[in-house]
Structure formats: C-alpha cells, structure tokens
Amino acid sequence: MQKIILTGDRPTGRLHLGHYVGSLKRRLQLQQAGGYDEFYVMLADSQALTDNFGNVQKVKDNVLEVMLDYLAVGLDPNKVTFFIQSEVSELTEFTFYYMNLVTLARLERNPTVKEELKQKDFSGTIPMGFLTYPVSQTADITAFNATIIPVGDDQLPMIEQAREIVRSFNNLYGKTLVEPQAVLPENENCYRLVGTDGGAKMSKSLGNCIYLSDEAEDIKQKVFSMYTDPNHIHVEDPGKVEGNTVFTYLDVFSKPEDFEKYLPDYKNLDELKAHYKRGGLGDMKIKKFLNSILQDLIAPIRERRKELAKQPENIFEILKVGTQKARKVAYANLIKLKTNMGINYFN
C-alpha cells in the first residue's frame, strides 16, 4: 500500500503554539523522515466557510497567512504539495455521493461537531453545510487515497467518520477506497495545549494564544502574565506545579539544553519542579526561563515569515502548482469512484 499523507487547516487566523505542538511539529517530522509517496497539506477554505460563510474575505486573507506560517516553520514545497480546497471542485462531488452513506443522526452524534455547535451562534438552527463538514473531510482524505492523517485529537471523530464511509462505500460498490489512519502528537500535553490563561485550549476566539508571528515583546508580555498557582504568593511558599500553566508549557517546550543554557543550577525539569513544590522558587524565575525558551523557538520562525511575506506572489505560485497537481489526482480518483458506482454513461 502507498504511504500518502494528507492534512490541513481551516484558514481562519494565523497559527499559534497550539498548532505548532499539536500538528506542525509532527508534519515536520514526517517530512524529515521521508519515505512517503505523497504529502499533501490542504488549506481548508471551503470547510472554513461552513461557519464563516458571511465572511469570505477573512478566510481568503488567511490562506496567505497560514501558508506563511507553514513555510516559516519549515514545511518545504519541494517535499509537500500545498493546495487550496475550494479550487479542487472534485471534492464537492465526492462529498455528494458520500452523503448517501451517512445519516443525520450519525452526524449529530459527532463529539467535535457537538462541541463546536455549543460555541457557535447559529441562532438555534444548524446550517446543513456545517453539520456535513465531516463528510466533506472524508472527501478531502479519500480523493487522494490518503492513508496517514496527522491531526490533533479533536479530529479523531472526523477520521472515524471517514473510516465508516470508506467501509460503507466498499461494501456497497466494491473495494475502491482505503481506510485512513490518524497520527497523533507524540506527547499528551501537546494534544491540546492550554491557553496562556490556563484555559482548556489555546484558541483564537479565547484570546489566549501565542502566535508564531508574535513579536518578542508580545511573547514576553504574554508569558509574564501567565496563570501560575494563585496560592504561591511569597517566594518561600510551597507552590503547585499541576495546573500551573508555566509548568505545563515547560513540560511541552523545555529541553535539557535549555537548562544548561539558562538555568545551570538545575539538571532538569524534575529538579526545578521539586524546588517549586518545596518553596523558595519565585514565579519570576520560571517565567523568565519559559520566556527565553519560547523566544528561541519563535524568533527564527518570525524572521523567516517576514522575509517570505515580502513576496506573496511566490506563495501563490506554490499554491497554484500544488493545486493543479492535486486537482489531477482528485479527478482521476473521482472517475474511478464513479466507474465503480456504475455512473459512467459515455464509455
């Protein structure tokens, strides 16, 4: 079986550290490891429209912003095919046939969709487009015979839905599609990075994000206003590390070299945590440490991004070439799909 990787993001805003640890890092690893037949990264603008249909311009503008983030972190257009979902119209056709294989009740049970519906204001009635986006996501995956889908854990219900549709399709029309497999981030703290406010999730709408494009001063200010342990008032007080955002971030971002470089009095994070728990370690010191680590991570990304942003025409050229290629593949697979279904009138 071919190894075809496919993933994507809804272009609704710049990417932040939650995206970085939750999905971009894994993509970089996969790119680095090589040994795949194809690697597609899709700008899911059509899917973004399912809850931004009144704001097409925002989605359009963010196609460029997200592409800049992708390239700035190191995704390489020579190794990855980038494409725009709405420019591959075959995907809509796949979606239409798959809709026959899914019930309304099944869509309403999708936990991620349910969660999103709680946060959105659709004035009590759900647009069909939004409810059926998991079906269109199945189209995104299967139109390219993708086998490996690197995503955050919130996307597991989408992959499960895709697998069900694949099975139904194959049962009904003969073996045509392959069941995709999700690949999650390696570390559970990365599944859903908490926000700088300690909230459950780093999310644009909650305003608790550190962006990959943030200036040094913004990062510093966000780190220094992070939520720690509200009962750790004096330096000598014993502190809690569980639920302490600074330590959660250190769990995710600190490496042994960072201790050598910035806190040589401690061998590793366990020692730092032990000191904090005992008392005698101030919040200032741990925040300074985290700030240094995040500055080191983000500075090169931000600078590369600024360079890339000077020539947006180059970015659109990459997208154009990638989209043409994606469209060819999706078209060929659509013909196969329709042929297996028996919808072929003229040959």
Q: Which member of 21, 135, 149, 330 binds ligand TRP (CB under 6 A)? A: 149
CB atoms within 10 A of CB 236: 11
Contact segment (CB under 6 A) with ligand TRP among 5-13, 209-217, 223-231, 276-284 equals: 5-13
Q: What distance in Å separates the CA atoms of residue 246 and residue 276, rounded to the nearest whole number?
A: 12
Which of 95, 88, 72, 141 has its CA nearest to residue 299?
A: 72
At a CB cut-off of 8 Å and minimum separation 6, what does 242 contact?
none
Q: Which is nearer to ligand TRP, 41 or 210 (CB)?
A: 41
Angle at 9 between CA 181 and CA 335, to 5 degrees: 60
Q: How far is the CB of 5 from ligand TRP (least distance, A)?
A: 10
Q: Does 161 bind ligand TRP (CB under 6 A)?
A: no
Q: Does 7 bind ligand TRP (CB under 6 A)?
A: yes
Residue among 149 and 286 whose Cβ is closer to ligand TRP = 149
Is residue 10 close enough to count as binding ligand TRP by CB under 6 A? yes
- Helices (H) then strands (E): counts for the chain: 17, 5
Task: Identify the three-state secondary structure at position 296.
Answer: helix
State the amino acid at position 241 in one-letter form.
V
Choice between 42 and 301, CB closer to ligand TRP: 42
Q: Please tell me the distance from the alpha carbon of residue 143 to that of residue 172, in angstroms, as a whole number.
A: 18
Instruction: Based on the shown chain and the rule CB under 6 A, indicate whether residue 6 belongs to the binding site for ligand TRP.
Output: yes
User: Does the protein bind ligand TRP through residue 250 (CB under 6 A)?
Assistant: no
CB of 42 to ligand TRP, least distance (A): 6
9 binds ligand TRP (CB under 6 A): yes
Compute the least distance from the CB of residue 47 to ligand TRP, in Å: 5
| Minimum CB distance to ligand TRP, residue 135 (Å) | 11
Interface with ligand TRP (CB under 6 A), residue from 15, 151, 190, 212: 151
d(CA 187, CA 194): 14
The residue from 5, 30, 41, 44 that contacts ligand TRP (CB under 6 A) is 44
Considering beta carbons, is residue 21 or 158 the nearer one to ligand TRP?
158
Q: At what angle do helices 312-341 and 283-309 cross, to 10 degrees?
A: 80
Q: Which two tokens stand for residue 264?
A: 């040589």
Backbone φ, ψ for residue 268 (5° rounding): -160, -175
Site residues (CB under 6 A) for ligand TRP? 6-10, 42, 44, 47, 137, 140-141, 149, 151, 155, 158
